[in-house]
Chain A
Amino acid sequence: MNEIDIPSCANNSACITCNFLPIQNNTGMLLKEEEKAMLNGDMGEPRRWAMEHMIRVGRFFDAEDFVAVSQAHIMADTESLGEAGVEFLEKMAASPRDQRRVRIPMITDPRGIDFCHYKRLKQTDLMANLEQRTIDAFEAMGILMTNTCINYQTIMPPVRGEHLAFGDTGVVIYCNSVLGAYSNFEGGPSALAAGLTGRTPRYALHLDENRRATKRYRIIHQPESLSDWGALGAMVGTRAGSYWEVPVIEGIERQPGSDEMKHMGAAMASFGSIPLFHIVGITPEAPSLEAICDPAMLDTEIIGEQDFESFFARYGGKGDKLDVVVFSAPQLSIIEMQSIADLLDGKKIHKDTALLAVTSPVVAADARRMGITERIESSGALVLEGMCFYQSYAREMGEANGWKRLMSNSAKLVNIIGGYGYQPTLSSMENCVASAIAGEVV
């Protein structure tokens, strides 16, 4: 490998990102021959942009070189993209076919629209149009429209040690922690850059030295429901509080399942921007405490029953009229779908309360085939697929439908949704369903 200077952007009509200043010389990153060719534009403008973008990021984080990645996963809902982001993707998708196609398997995070139900949710044709334009651009680039944030449960779970460029913080923390894969949080632009090049800058969690525990927590109250696991993740995330901290958790007395790890990780990432945790004796990089830290160097913080109670008390609302119950963030597994169907069998939700169960297209197809969707929707609830509530113009949906009091068993969702004008309540799945039937928070 040779260290090279980075050429100035030509800033001509072929430049996708003509508002970019030319990147400065002396990046300090080592580039292989193919990477130099991509950066020089020899493999087309999209890959040139991708290399330039990743060098900016790599330089920010002192990456010495790039690492090859085997899969990319892109978050790009249209609420985040806006018109500007969609136009950015369309320009890239208009490049010649051999220049615009991604080089590694690349899949999508949930979209903002379920085309079968957007009018019922009072989303607009403008939103649907923006969504369709994005899909057209992604498909032109060879990106698979999986529309899921539970790809580790449904599409292709990564293998331990596999380097990835995954978006969606819940996906990243699960794949790093539970599966032992290597990924940073990749926002949409960086995930796209990784897909176009098959590379990502080697920094943070791609380096073993950054995967050792830096914060230590002992649990003296065992989580039971999925919302308990989410609450635990939220508390650890809040306490650890930074992308650059790695929590290790001791004291968990039983083997958690995939949905429990899913809720815990998603909440930890949401509340603390945490990309990796260890659980001693459970997660693959932590067969023992000594394997991932020097125990004498870390103080232990206790998390007990009172902490759980205080956490749930932050999301009250008991007795309030309930506008909407949302099971989402992350999308529901087929097991969670079955659990909701079991709770709703033979019952009707209150006429003034909506209940939304949001899942991936793969799970939705299974749920339809197995009759689970019909059982849920017979109650008056709605199954949505390929979207996620908070990525779906939640503010506009809330205003159009008159939704204020929102109830969920997802700690991640209640953390996010306050900023969109909702009053969130966190409770168990059972209590959420009972409240939807009663029409008030019980």
Chain B
Amino acid sequence: MESFELHCHVGVGPEVSGEALVTDDNFSARYDLDRIKGIFSRPQHKLAGQSYIDKILVFNTAKGGVASAWMLYEMASRKIAPRAILFNSVNPILAQGGALADMALCDRFEEGDVTQLIQTGDRVTVNPELGLVTVERD
């Protein structure tokens, strides 16, 4: 088993662990999700059809509107939500949403493109307070 650490900017939310679901695509809770079923619903999204529940999601950046700020809170309240979201670079809306939802959310990785550094299926621990992400891979 391989294990390594990634370093990012200080984020928001608690320390969490989970299984990674990774894409180099971008993210909006409004545009891309069926929040009732807990799946990516926009046909053009690279994760279309996949469940995001309890996953550590990894994207390139955020896109679109301001709704995601409320939506993360609403999703977390029903426990049909990811455990954490990691980005190369995030916009204020998702950071604000993570802050309200108390959902782990981080960006700006020192080691480079996080969508390449983490692979789907990796076991990931995110510590936003330290800006530290630990990755375990079989």
Asked if A187 contacts B66 (CB within 8 A), the reply is yes
Interface residues of A in 1-28 (CB under 8 A from B): 17, 19-21, 24
Are A185 and B66 interface neighbours, CB within 8 A?
yes
Chain A proximity mask over B21-54: 1 for CB below 8 Å, otherwise 0? 0000010001111100000011111000000000
Q: Which residues of A contact B (CB under 8 A)?
A: 17, 19-21, 24, 53, 56-57, 59-61, 75-77, 79-85, 88, 167-169, 184-190, 203-204, 241-244, 269-273, 390-391, 395, 415-416, 418-421
Name the contact of B73 in the complex, choosing from A168, A184, A189, A269 (C-beta under 8 A): A189
**Chain A residues, Cβ within 8 Å of B102:** 19-21
Cβ 8 A contact of B96, one of A17, A83, A169, A190: A190
Cβ contact within 8 Å between B10 and A60: yes
Q: What chain A residues lie within 8 Å of B96 (beta carbons)?
A: 53, 57, 186-187, 189-190
A184 contact set on B, CB distance < 8 A: 92
Partner of A186, one of B26, B30, B92: B92
Residues of B within 8 A of A421 (CB): 41
The bracket for how many chain B residues form the interface is: 35 or more
Judging by beta carbons under 8 Å apart, are A57 and B95 in contact? yes
B89: chain A residues at CB < 8 Å are: 242-244
From the candidates A75, A189, A243, A391, name the one contacting B91 in the complex (CB within 8 A).
A243
* A336 CB → nearest B CB, Å: 21
What is the bound-complex CA distance between A395 and B35, given in angstroms? Answer: 11
- Interface, chain B (partner A; CB < 8 A): 9-12, 14, 26, 30-34, 41-45, 61-71, 73-74, 76-78, 89-93, 95-97, 99-100, 102, 129
Give every chain A residue within 8 A of B90 (Cβ-Cβ).
Answer: 243
Q: A80-B70, A85-B70, A85-B73 are in contact. Are A60 and B65 (CB under 8 A)?
A: no
Instruction: Tell me whether A188 and B61 are in contact (CB under 8 A).
Output: no
Smallest CB gap from A49: residue in B? B100
Identify the 7 closest CB pairs spanning chains A and B, nearest first. Answer: A187-B69, A84-B77, A82-B74, A243-B91, A419-B42, A56-B99, A80-B70
Kindly provide the distance from the CB of A186 to the nearest chain B CB, expressed in whole angstroms. 7
Cβ-closest chain B residue relative to A416: B31
Q: Which residues of B contact A420 (CB under 8 A)?
A: 41
Q: A419 and B65: CB pair below 8 A?
A: no
Closest partner residue, chain B, to A237 (CB atom): B63
Does the CB pair B65–A270 fall under 8 Å? yes
13 contacts across the A-B interface (CB closer than 8 A): A21-B14, A57-B96, A57-B99, A77-B67, A85-B70, A167-B66, A169-B65, A186-B66, A273-B62, A390-B30, A418-B31, A419-B32, A419-B42
Contacts A53-B99, A242-B61, A419-B33; A80 near B67 (Cβ below 8 A): yes
Chain A: CB-nearest residue to B43 = A418
